[in-house]
Each structure stands twice: as structure tokens, then as C-alpha cells.
A and B are shown apart, each in its own frame.
Chain A
Amino acid sequence: MLKILKYSFYDLMRSRWSYVYFLFYLALGFVLLFLNNDLSKAVITLMNVIIVLVPLISTIFGVMYFYNSKEFTELLLAQPLKRSSIFLGQYLGVAGSLTLSLVLGLGLPFVLYGLFKSDTIWDFSLLLITGAFLTLIFVALAFNIAISNENKIKGFGYAVLLWLFLAVIYDGLFLMSLILFEEYPLDSFSLAATMFNPIDLSRTLILLKLDISALLGYTGAIFKQFFGTYTGLTVSITTLILWTVLPIWRLSYKAKRKDF
């Protein structure tokens, strides 16, 4: 598995797309900090970018990579190798390189602008951690979609739909249900609904750490009470890990049974 991981990883590191992705974040970080020197404000703007773009790019890139390396995968399958290690290796290669691009691309400008001397270091690391988690989650979901669909067009369609659902439609449904049931106490419901969507969960986790959380008022206070505690943080991290592990598990399960 490690060999395949290494191969996928180096293959991607050499590819143009990783560089483009890396350079994009590098440029974004520098431009943001150039336009306003305030690290904490840059964190808010970055959050907006990260919770939308990271899932989108991870999904598309994951599906693309899977379909592109199909021939290579089939070659590997002919070798005496465990199936799960082939797919997991590829998965970790893609997810790893994307995460690395993200962390380095955003990390470098912030470090250069004096991140270590500022108090926003924890907010920023939380931002990177959730960004990394989002990458892991969405690449895994993309691999799942790709392995279940032979048809590339269909696969891409589903991948984009998945992103659209989690990034936009889910919030719409969430909002509708909040308004529909406004006469009922909605605190635990909204907590649970946030937990079920990794994008919402990441957004909430970051928002609560920032100054802007004062705008959340009473609801924010309840969320803060939950996420601020040890259990709350554990639960949310566990949820993120579950979101990562479950698709990976399904991927290896599918891979074992799939007839190539």
C-alpha cells in the first residue's frame, strides 16, 4: 500500500494540477494579506473560500484522478496485490497531495506575515485542520462515486451534485425546516443538523472561534456552550473522522467486490 501511495503521491506532485492548486492558495493568501494586513480578518475571508472551494476541488479532482488512472489500476489489479491497498494507496496519494498543497499554499504567506507572533494562530490552525478534513472527506466521497459508476459523465454529474447538495441545497433544506418548525425549540435540532453536514460543521467550528460569533446571539451562545466544551469538541472531531472513515471503509468494501 505504501508503495502505491508513494507512487500516486509522487505522480501527483509531479503533475501540473497540484502546482496550480498550490499556487492558487499561495496567491490567495498573499493577495488577502496584501490587501489587508489584519490576520484575523483574512481568516474569515479564507474560511468563506475554504468551505466552498476545498470540497469542490477535492470532489472534481478525486473523480478525475480515479477515471484517469483506471488503466494503471487495472494493471495493478493483475499483480498479486491486495485490492484494498491499491485503492487506499491511490486515495491517500490524492488526498495527501491536495492537503499538502492547501496547507503549504496558505501556510507560507501567513507564516511570512507573522502568524507565529499573532493570537490568530489557533484560529488559523483550526482553519487548516478543517480544510484538511474537508479534503479527506470529499476525495473519499468522490472515489466512492467513481468506483460505483463506470460511466464517466454520470460519475462527474453525481460528484458535482454531491458538492452542490452539501454546500448549498442542504442549507436550504435546513433553513426551510427551521422556519417551518419555528414554534418548536430548535436548538438541539440545529445542532444535530449542523453535525450531519461536514461543510456546515466546519463553518460553525471556525465561526465560533472568531469575533464574529457575537452576531450569533442566543443561538450562538448555545452552540458555543456545546462546542466550547471538551465533549462538544470531541463529538465534532469524531463526526469529522466518521465522515472520513465511513466513505473510506465503503471504498475498500466496494473495491473488494467489484468485478473489473
Chain B
Amino acid sequence: MYKYQLHLLFFIFFMGTSLWAKTIEVCASCEVKSIKEGIALATDFDTLLIKKGTYREFNIVVDKPLTLIGENCPIIDGEDRGEIIRVVSDNVTVDGLYIINVGTSYTTDYAAIRVVKSENFLIQNVVLEKLFFGIYLERSNNGKVYHNKIIGDALDEYNSGNGIQLWYSHHVQVDRNIVQGVRDGIYLEFSDNIAINNNISTNNLRYGLHFMFSNDDVYTGNTFENNGAGVAVMFSKGIKMERNIFKRNWGTAAFGMLLKEINDAEIIGNTFEENTIGINIEGSNRIVYKNNNFISNGWAVKVLGACYTNSFINNNFLYNSFDISYNSKLNDNVFEKNYWSNYTGYDLDKDGIGDVPYRPVKLFSYVVNRTPETIILLRSMFMDIIDFSEKVSPVFTPDNLLDAMPLMKRSE
């Protein structure tokens, strides 16, 4: 609370100072013709009003607390020569710019906008095209990346960058951005307490959103469509994932969500639709899966191993080729009160809960996990027969892996 008050105090203070700050206009016919010139002229807390036009500039260093506002979407063309804007001061706002042609390099991560060791930054309404890295936050905290549009044209993973990248940055909000056609839409490394909300990340080569060693982050209401994999969450703790949509991440090595070494996370109210694998889980413990919808996926949930004390409660599993795939005989995970479209049991006492437990692991998926080549027998009659016999009396699949209380109707 004290921290917030301090923020507020700062805010009011800055508001006050900005009243006396002057506005510098930048345009082709103005006194100040380039952005660099404008920054050099400006004093702290000034505003740079960049008018419509094309500015062929790169390596613009913002080293004072300034506000850069683009009027009618001025174009900053980096001409593929390197980084375009580098923010090295606290309290910088970048608003309404259209930045194109960031240089590509194999040794330096050139970014359209890079924020280095700065606090309280705000980057909004920026459009980035033909980029290498988009917005790169480096050891910068307490900022906001809001309503930007990043449209890449990445073809190969090795020579493309990420849309929004956070590195050792904490308490940042990433809100309502549109990211497409880059390597990773949003990438977090060693970044804690980040809120990622209502973004749309599509058609990226690798992941829509990627966590590495980042803890206590929240992402809600995002849409991840047609990426190499929707979201990859790796080596992180305490991540909350709510109301996101993972759609059409379809291909031989595509996932809706990839969890690797994740502990104590919450996955609530998400929709996984038409992914080859809805969620791929490896070495993840104490995760709560609640109220999610798994619709028409190849595998709804694929558990690869070392996953303990996870609970699946009140989820809907609808028309997936395989509901759960599991590769060990040991089961420590709980499945309870889910709705399974493949459930064929009955409910005599009419309490909405099926009287016969449901076994979500088909023998075929168990066999495929053991010997991947056997997948070639997909949809053969033999497989249907042995799946049926396994359903009646389980021999190979863990016998305690069952939903003892399957719902008769879809949970809302």
C-alpha cells in the first residue's frame, strides 16, 4: 500500500511539473526536423509532438523523461540499419508511432523500441512492421505496454526476433496488444509479477506467449491462434492462466499449451479448441485445472511424466480424439466432476453425476506413448476393439486414473 501511495505521489508530482513543461513540434517543415534533434533540445518532462511524415532515423536514444507522441501515425524508418528507439531514462512515454525496418543481426538483438534499466515507462498505440525484435524491456520495471500492433514477417526461427520481450523486468502490464508473424509473440525471461491481459497473438513461428524462469505472473483473456505452440510455460512458479483462448495450433509438433517444470499454477476457464495437443504437461506439480473447455483436440491433455498432485475439476472434454494420454502406471492426479463427451454411463439417481466412473485414458493412447510408431493404427477396427475391452476391464492403464464423478451434462 505504501508503495502505491508513493507512486501516486510521484504521479501527482509529475503531473504538476508537466504543466510547465513545453511541447516541441517535430516535422519536415518545422524548426526541429528530426526526432534526435528534438530530444537534444528538450529538457526533462517535455513533450515531443511528432507530426505526420517519414523520419529516416535509427539509434534514437531517449535519455530524459520525455513524452514522444506521434500525430497521425508518423513513420520512423530504420532502413534496416539497427535499433530504432532506446529508452534509458525513467518516466518515458512513447505513443502513436509507426516504426518500420528494424535491422536484423545475428549478434545483437536489435529492437524497434528498447527500454533499458528504466522505470514507469508507457509504450502505447505503436505500430511495428518489418521488425527483428519489437518491444524489448531490459531490467525495466513498473511500466505498461498497451494497445500496440506488431506485425512481423518472420519465416525462420533462427533469424527472427520476438514481438514483446521482457528480460529481468518486473511489475509490467502488457495489455491489448496484437502480435503476429514473429518468433515468440510475447516472451518473458526472469520476469516476475507481470500481467498479460487481452492480447491477441497469432501466426507466430514458435510460441504465442513464452515464459522462462518467470514467477507469479498472470495472463487472462488472451487469444492464441495458429502459432507453433500457443503458450509455453517453462521453469516457472505460481502462474495464473485464466479465460484465455487457445485455438487451431495445429500441426505435427503443435501444442495449445506446453507446461514444463511448472509448479503451483492455476489454469481456469480457458478454452482449448482444435489443437493437436491441448495441454502438454511435463514435470509439473500442484496445478489446478478448473472450468476449462477442451474441444476437438487431437489430445486434450498429454501427461508425459513426473506430474503429481494435479487436479482436474469441472472441465469439459468434448470430441477430442484422445482425452488424456498418460505414460506411467502411477497416478497421483485427481479427476473429478468433469464432463466427458465420450462417457457412456448412466445416472439412475438423477443427481447429475454418472454412476459409473469414467476412464479417460484409452489403451491406444497408452500404447502410442510406449511405441510412437503404433499411431499408424489410428482409427483401425482392431484399436477400437481393444480400447473397448480395456474400458470394460483395465489392465494396462492405471486403475485409479478415473473420474469417479463424471458429469452427465456440460458444466457451464
Interface positions of A (Cβ within 8 A of B): 44, 47-48, 51-52, 167-169, 171-172, 174-175, 178-179, 182, 186-187, 190, 194, 200, 203-204, 207, 211-212, 214-221, 223
Contacts and interface: CB of A to CB of B under 8 A. Distances in A.
Interface of B: 250-254, 276, 298-299, 321, 367, 370-383, 385-386
A186 to B, nearest CB: 4
B373 A186 contact: yes
Given A168-B382, A179-B370, A217 B252 contact: yes
A204 B375 CA distance: 11
Given A182-B371, A215-B276, A171 B377 contact: yes
Contact of B373 (A169, A212, A214, A219): A219
Contact of A216 (B252, B254, B380, B382): B252
Contact of A203 (B252, B321, B380, B385): B380
B376 A214 contact: no
A207 B381 contact: no
Contacts of B299: 215
B374 A178 contact: yes
Contacts of A223: 376
A220 B252 contact: yes
Contact of B250 (A171, A211, A217): A211
Contacts of B386: 172
B382 A214 contact: no
B373 A187 contact: yes
9 contacts: A168-B382, A175-B377, A179-B370, A182-B370, A190-B373, A204-B376, A214-B276, A217-B252, A220-B252
A211 B321 CA distance: 12
Contacts, number: 82
A231 B378 CA distance: 24
Nearest to B253: A217
Given A168-B381, A175-B374, 6 more contacts: A171-B380, A175-B367, A178-B373, A179-B374, A211-B250, A217-B252
A44 B296 CA distance: 14
B373 to A, nearest CB: 4
A216 B376 contact: yes
A217 B375 contact: yes
A171 B251 contact: no
Nearest to B385: A168
A223 B373 CA distance: 11
Contacts of A172: 382, 386
Contacts of B380: 51, 171, 200, 203
B379 A48 contact: yes
The 9 closest A-B pairs by CB, nearest first: A171-B382, A215-B298, A182-B371, A186-B373, A171-B380, A214-B276, A168-B382, A178-B374, A219-B373
Contacts of B377: 171, 174-175
A167 B381 contact: yes
A17 to B, nearest CB: 24
Nearest to B384: A48
A160 to B, nearest CB: 14
Given A167-B381, A171-B380, A223-B376, A179 B367 contact: yes
Instruction: Pick from B367, B372, B385 the residue with the most CB of A within 10 Å.
Output: B372
Nearest to B368: A217
Contacts of A178: 371, 373-374
Given A186-B373, A217-B372, A47 B251 contact: no
A203 B379 contact: yes
B125 to A, nearest CB: 38
Contacts of B254: 214
Contacts of B373: 178, 182, 186-187, 190, 219
A47 B379 CA distance: 9
B382 A207 contact: no
Contact of B378 (A52, A167, A179, A207): A207
Instruction: Pick from B253, B254, B374 the residue with the most CB of A within 10 Å.
Output: B374
B374 to A, nearest CB: 5
Contact of B252 (A52, A167, A182, A214): A214
A209 B385 CA distance: 25
Nearest to A221: B252
Contacts of A174: 377
A194 B376 contact: yes
A212 B321 CA distance: 9
A115 to B, nearest CB: 22
A186 B373 CA distance: 7
Contacts of A221: 252
Given A52-B381, A171-B382, A175-B382, A214 B375 contact: no
A178 B122 CA distance: 58
Nearest to A204: B376
Instruction: Pick from A175, A203, A211, A212 the residue with the most CB of B within 10 Å.
Output: A175
Contacts of A171: 377, 380-383
A215 B321 contact: yes
A200 B251 CA distance: 23
A172 B253 CA distance: 28
Contacts of A207: 378-379
A215 B370 contact: no
Nearest to B254: A214
